[in-house]
Amino acid sequence: MDSNTHSPQGSTGPAGPPAAGAPPQSPDWLARLAADVKGLDAEDLDRLSDTAVANQTLQLQQLADCLDGVVLRHLAAVDARGAAGADQGVQFGSTASWLRARLRMTSGAAATAVRTARALYRGPLAQSGAALCAGEISAAHASVLAAGAKHLPDHTVLDAEAVLLDAARHLAPHRLRQTVEHLQYTVDPDRADQAAQRRYDRRGVWLTLTMDRMVAIHGQLLPEAGQTLMAALDSLSRPADHHDTRTGGQRTADALQELARRELEAGQLPITGGVRPQLSVIVDLESLTGDPGGLGGEMGWAGPLEPEAVRRLACDATFTRVVVSRQPLDACDRCQAGDPDDPATSASQGWLRAVLTRLPPVLGGAPSRPLDVGRATRVVSPAQRSALAVRDGGCVFPGCSRPLAWCEAHHVWHWLDGGPTDLDNLALVCRAHHRAIHDGGWQLARGPDGRFTATPPYRRPPALV
């Protein structure tokens, strides 16, 4: 194809389908079109001048828009006849489901195609359909017009189509969408408000952990919310310098993480579970000190962290030392009993002392924050809360799986009754079970093995008549 002497408006392109009203013909034009496209794919673009390849690109895009219109016109005919599935001699429940099955289209793309085809070739947007087939507007413009027509009376669409079509020839699709929305509010504000409410109800953000331990983010934001987020991310997502090789998506991901980190450090977020929200990572000593055999860190829902990632986070973090013995359960029980003559107790105490001497000062090798404060205070300290997070992980009430963020610290032996504010007398329970204990009469107890049990309130048996 030599496009040096042809403008996009003057190009006729490959042989097209028969005009409307022409006598039926064999689909030889499809074979010719397929052959022409195959020939274009084999063309050596290196032999074309810059002007030729640029002009040819514009012409091909215009032809693609024309072909989109032809496809939608055929789709409208299939939909009108109920012929979805006739190619295989089966019946589909809807035209959109047929497109999903045969062309592997997404549900949204299939529904949009059917809606656009109906509006352009079976509805009030006949002029727009002709403009799409002529390459005057794109399929994206046609989709915007069809979506707007869905929420307007047909007579309004017929009256406004010429104006909207002229706007489509000069505006980008997102600008055209704004024009259509202004028309909706002008013509039928009540219906426009209802559509806005439906959009509001669809808002949401979902975070999903992938198989390779990435976190996928899916969601929809309202226009003002999306614009607010984009404004907040803009300054943080710019390239650091001319050596910055990150893609735009990578810079946005890094900016979102930085935005959350700064907000956590500012300490302005609401308190949840008795403390300000922070990123909590549980790490074994070997991983932190770089010794061989370190298992890395655990941060809950998002999964484990590699040892190197843990040490990177440790460069700028607040630490709470929690010493956990991984000895057999019976030895730990004797250690808790405090029998100095028991060899197991002596060995366990020696092991604890050895661990403490290995801790660097920032982790509490030197004097550290106390985790046991006795009767000095009834308020659970942040250090104790961190230790409870390590030990309990969430609500300890039997059968409950509510996460850490939903939990509050509870004195098993009530502080007013003489119970100390020490780890052995504290437990994490969710708000619902905390209320059940204090107001509902349930009794929570911690056994010698560290497991918690719950006893329901006593109910006097009914008197025998």
Residues in the chain: 465
Domain map (residue ranges) of the chain: 8-17+26-201, 204-266, 282-363, 382-455
Q: What is the distance, to the nearest Å, from the Cα of residue 49 to the centroid of all Cα atoms in its chain?
A: 45
- What was the pLDDT predicted at 110? 92
Query: Distance (Å, rounded) from C-alpha 9 to C-alpha 358?
Result: 79
- What was the pLDDT predicted at 80? 92
- Using DSSP bridges, classify how beta strands 282-283 and 297-298 pair: parallel, antiparallel or unpaired: antiparallel
- What was the pLDDT predicted at 368? 45
Check the CA dihedral 248-264-387-440 and report its sign: negative
| pTM assigned to the model | 0.44
- What was the pLDDT predicted at 353? 58
* Partner residues linked to 454 by β-bridges: 444
- What was the pLDDT predicted at 261? 74
Mean pLDDT in consecutive groups of 10 residues from the start of the chain, 465 residues: 39 45 59 82 85 90 90 93 89 91 91 92 90 90 88 82 88 87 77 79 88 86 86 85 83 86 68 57 66 66 65 53 48 44 55 55 46 62 79 87 79 79 85 80 86 81 57
Q: Where are the beta strands (DSSP E) in 234-347?
A: 282-283, 297-298, 304-305
- What was the pLDDT predicted at 275? 53
